[in-house]
Homo-oligomer: A and B are copies of this chain.
Amino acid sequence: MIPDVAVNKEEQAYALLKADADKILQLIKVQIDNLTMPQCPLYEEVLDTQMYGLSREIDFAVRLNLVEEADGKKLLEDLERQLNVLHEASQKL
């Protein structure tokens, strides 16, 4: 679950958060590939829940001084940006 290259707690923490963010992105990609309607309220709810969970993990890591606040913020923003791109692309299908 934690890549071998991650040697200390700080790197492990960031690698875990990044993996969780990628998991959310993957989940949304699968939903779009299967043509599940992104306008579906359940889809929005699942996404909101996942994003909230990730933000709580990031906040925890920041409070533990394992991850820089700016890095944590960027991780969440990058994911939101990628999700927006996916969402817009699915609208044009």
Query: Interface of A with B (CB < 8 Å)?
Result: 1-2, 9, 12-13, 16, 49, 52-54, 56-57, 60-61, 63-64, 66
Contacts and interface: CB of A to CB of B under 8 A. Distances in A.
**How many identical chains are in the complex?**
2
A13 B66 CA distance: 10
A60 B9 contact: no
Contacts of A54: 56
Q: Is the interface of A mostly helix, strand, loop or mixed?
A: helix
Contacts of A9: 9, 64, 66
Greatest chain B CB density within 10 A among A12, A54, A56 is at: A56
Contacts of A2: 63
The 4 closest A-B pairs by CB, nearest first: A53-B56, A57-B60, A56-B56, A56-B57
A1 B60 CA distance: 12
A1 B65 CA distance: 12
